[in-house]
Amino acid sequence: MTNTKTKNPQTLGEFIIEKQADFQYSSGELSRLLSSIKLAAKVVNQQVNKAGLVDIVGAMGNHNIQGEEQQKLDVFANETFIAALNNREVVCGIASEENEDYIKVHAKDNVNLSKYVVLIDPLDGSSNIDVNVNVGTIFSIYRRTSLEGSVQAEDFLQPGKNQVAAGYIVYGSSTMLVYTTGNGVNGFTLDPSLGTFYLSHPNIQIPKNGKIYSINEGNYIKFPQGIKKYIKYCQEENEDRPYTSRYIGSLVADFHRNLLKGGIYIYPSYSNAPKGKLRLLYECNPIALLTEQAGGKASNGFHRILDITPSELHERTPFICGSKEMVEKVEYFIKNAK
């Protein structure tokens, strides 16, 4: 006797279609865009999951525009997401951490009516691939601002508050796709046997406070005074402290854990990285939108990340994001550092 009470969990495809109604005058274009990201996520997941078995691990010998040695899986992920977005003509432009300049997507009949641009970090944390640590893909979607013709730089250089959607895929013990279109944050877990993402974490809310702090303490001596004081605050025997230090070296994995359990991720500016290390457009802005949609906070220590107007595609920013009260505590220490 099957238990008719247990409703099948909703698939990502069903959810995207159902939520399409959230968009006034929705033409279904954003739904098709999100579906192409879903497809690329499955293809990349397949390769990430067998990275140790096929000749796809290990540096390709090339260096990306960041000067970072490109792991083969980086290149594969980048090409997979670009192809998925290109082939369905759902975007007019694509920017990627792996590409120096943005890509103009030309429709077959040269009339590209798509109104969206996508920015991606195709495989964040990729230096962890060959040691089997979680990696992730981060994506950010805007409506173009230029009115006609090919996509322009201005379409990508928008403040993060203009994003129409943002999310990530975390390839880990299970593979999850977490995203927002401005109406809350929802998480979907891939059933690899069916190749289907199912709604597993509806309406995610990050706890207002937490006991996990994520920062590369190896750089402690170079940190600004306020950050040093906050780290010492986390380690004090007092009230609800000491906190737990958890740092994987993969933003998506560290953020995902803090989103579900409460916590804070910090990549500050310091002597070696005067503007921090993380990229504003395709790492910090999408994660900041998810953070705020889940009830948390994301700043550069002084200003809301989503209010920053970028001046260049690959610009960096100091990044502090997670549980609201923890971010506010760091901001307090930064502002009152002697």
Indicate the residue among 93 and 286 with the shorter CB distance to ligand P6P.
286
Tell me: is residue 123 an annotated ligand-binding position.
yes
- Where does residue 156 fall: left (phi above 0), alpha (psi -120 to 50 degrees), or beta otherwise? alpha
Indicate the residue among 6 and 272 with the shorter CB distance to ligand P6P.
272
Indicate the residue among 114 and 323 with the shorter CB distance to ligand P6P.
323
Closest approach of ligand P6P to the CB of residue 212, in Å? 14
Closest approach of ligand P6P to the CB of residue 305, in Å? 15
- Where does residue 331 fall: left (phi above 0), alpha (psi -120 to 50 degrees), or beta otherwise? alpha
Indicate the residue among 68 and 325 with the shorter CB distance to ligand P6P.
68
Indicate the residue among 66 and 146 with the shorter CB distance to ligand P6P.
66
Residues 6+ apart with CB under 8 A from 196: 11, 12, 190
- Dihedral, CA atoms, 61, 63, 69, 72, nearest 10 degrees? -60
Tell me: is residue 250 an annotated ligand-binding position.
no
CB 253 within 8 A of CB 172: yes
Amino acid at 17: I
Tell me: is residue 97 an annotated ligand-binding position.
yes
Indicate the residue among 141 and 251 with the shorter CB distance to ligand P6P.
251
* Cβ atoms within 10 Å of 232's Cβ, excluding its own: 11
Closest approach of ligand P6P to the CB of residue 247, in Å? 7
Round to whole Å and give the CA distance between 230 and 199: 37
Closest approach of ligand P6P to the CB of residue 2, in Å? 44
Closest approach of ligand P6P to the CB of residue 176, in Å? 16
Round to whole Å and give the CA distance between 135 and 125: 5
- Cβ burial of 94 (10 Å; 0-12, 13-18, 19+) is buried
Residue 191, beta-bridge partner list:
196
Instruction: Give me the long-range contacts of 304-309 (CB less than 8 A, separation at least 24).
Output: 305/160, 305/280, 306/159, 306/160, 306/161, 306/163, 307/159, 307/160, 307/161, 308/159, 308/160, 308/280, 309/157, 309/158, 309/159
Q: What angle do CA 45, 132, 70 make, to 5 degrees?
A: 75
Tell me: is residue 109 an annotated ligand-binding position.
no
Tell me: is residue 168 an annotated ligand-binding position.
no
Question: What does each C-alpha distance from 311 to 97, 184, 271, 317 come to in angstroms?
Answer: 16, 28, 22, 12
Closest approach of ligand P6P to the CB of residue 228, in Å? 16
Indicate the residue among 38 and 277 with the shorter CB distance to ligand P6P.
277
Closest approach of ligand P6P to the CB of residue 43, in Å? 21
Tell me: is residue 222 an annotated ligand-binding position.
no
Closest approach of ligand P6P to the CB of residue 119, in Å? 15
Tell me: is residue 236 an annotated ligand-binding position.
no
Residue 170, beta-bridge partner list:
136, 176
Tell me: is residue 125 an annotated ligand-binding position.
yes
Tell me: is residue 126 an annotated ligand-binding position.
yes
Tell me: is residue 38 an annotated ligand-binding position.
no
Indicate the residue among 127 and 205 with the shorter CB distance to ligand P6P.
127
Amino acid at 320: I
Residues that bind ligand P6P in the complex, under the rule CB under 6 A: 124-125, 127, 216, 249-251, 254, 277-278
Binding residues: 97, 121, 123-127, 216, 247, 277, 283
Binding residues for substrate: 124-127, 216, 247, 277
Binding residues for Mg(2+): 97, 121, 123-124, 283
